[in-house]
Amino acid sequence: MSKSILRQAKITPHLSSTRGHNSLGWLDTYHSFSFAHWHDPRFTHFGSLRVLNEDRVQPNSGFPTHPHRDFEIFSYILSGELTHRDSMLTKGKEGGQSDKFFRMHRGDVQFTTGGTGIAHSEFNEHNKDTVHFLQIWAIPWKRGLTPRYHTRHFSDEDKRKDFVKILSPLKAGEDATAQEEAEAEPTIPNTIPIHADFVMGAGIIAPEGKFEWTVGGGAAQKNQRKVFIHLPMLKGGKARIRLDGREDAELSEGDGAFVEGVYIGDRLIVESIGEEEAEVIVLDTA
């Protein structure tokens, strides 16, 4: 077993059994943080991370047109198909795939800046397959931003080599001009820009394999960090991970962990200790 190299860090597992759960027939959802009608004062937010829902939506159902405001919201597709459609687009007249209309599959990430207000739908239009995805919300560094969408694909092949960066802060920062907002350049190339001191990564670790996450993700601003790790329910319970070599930081599918007392440049070791490969989500925030 590896030894801890983050002795100053506090790692607190957030077990799947402590998540909120709601089953509506068309939707089966688990909430890592207080959401909708489920509230737990222990789990309200973690830095700028506000929502992490693990959702399964049945065929020909989903979230009809609904508004968002002043949150950064992103969907990470694990399996199945999810169609994102801006409310201003008439069904059947979308004109092909775009940021405002995108039929997402595994590896796709769809990102929304709610800003001053936006409305869209997220629907599983497939006639037989359930879609399984993570819905994540972050608190932006300021309110009243210009609403915007981004969609990007991140391959399994790359995730099996190392943690792949998914999101990084808008390079121009909190005081970006309108032109810089429109250019939407992220701090890390080939990632999606987010209006927060926030970096997201994802990796697929083979059994007995080990990946290393450098705290801050190479793009953070504030030195002291909070890192949330999540292990989605993908392998029928056969995927497991260990954080920082600690026996008391071993996670099963559906579990998460709060990592506190870490700083930019610290190294967090994630080991795959189950029978199946583990898809690990890293959310690194101030």
Q: What is the pLDDT of residues 183-236, one digit of tens each?
A: 999 999 999 999 999 999 999 999 999 999 999 999 999 999 999 999 999 999
Question: Token digits for 28?
Answer: 């089966």
The pLDDT, as a whole number, for residue 53 is 98
In a domain, 5, yes or no: no
Per the prediction, the chain carries an average pLDDT of 95
Judge whether 2 lies within some domain. Answer: no
Any domain includes 152: yes
Tell me what percent of the residues of the chain surpass a pLDDT of 90.
91
Let me know if residue 123 belongs to a domain. yes
Residue 240 lies in domain: 10-285
**Would the pLDDT of 1 be above 70?**
no
For residues 76 and 279, the answer to whether their CB atoms sit within 8 Å is no
Sequence-distant (≥ 6) Cβ neighbours of residue 237 within 8 angstroms: 252, 253
Residue 88 predicted with pLDDT over 90: no
User: Does pLDDT of 143 surpass 70?
Assistant: yes
Instruction: Report pLDDT for 219.
Output: 98
Task: Please report whether residue 1 resides in a domain.
Answer: no
| Statement: residue 248 has pLDDT above 80 | yes
Q: How far apart are CA 59 and CA 46, in angstroms?
A: 33
The CATH number of residue 262's host domain is 2.60.120.10
Is position 50 within any domain? Answer: yes
- The whole-number average pLDDT for the span 101-128 is 94
Q: Which residues of 175-206 are buried (b: 16+ CB within 10 A; e: fewer)?
A: ebeeeebeeeebbbeebbbbbbbbbbbbbbbe
**What is the pLDDT at residue 98?**
79
Q: Compute the distance between CA of residue 39 and CA of residue 34 in angstroms, rounded to an integer.
A: 4
Overall domain count for the chain: 1
| Mean pLDDT for the stretch of residues 15-34 | 97
* pLDDT at residue 86, rounded to an integer: 85
- Let me know if residue 127 belongs to a domain: yes
Q: What is the mean pLDDT of residues 125-132?
A: 96
- The answer to whether residue 3 is domain-embedded is no
pLDDT of residue 89 exceeding 70, the answer is: no
Amino acid 95: pLDDT: 66
- Residue 59 CA to residue 123 CA, distance in Å, equals 9
Q: Is the pLDDT of residue 32 over 90?
A: yes
Q: Are 206 and 255 in contact (CB under 8 A)?
A: no
Q: Which residue has the tokens 């950064």?
A: 72
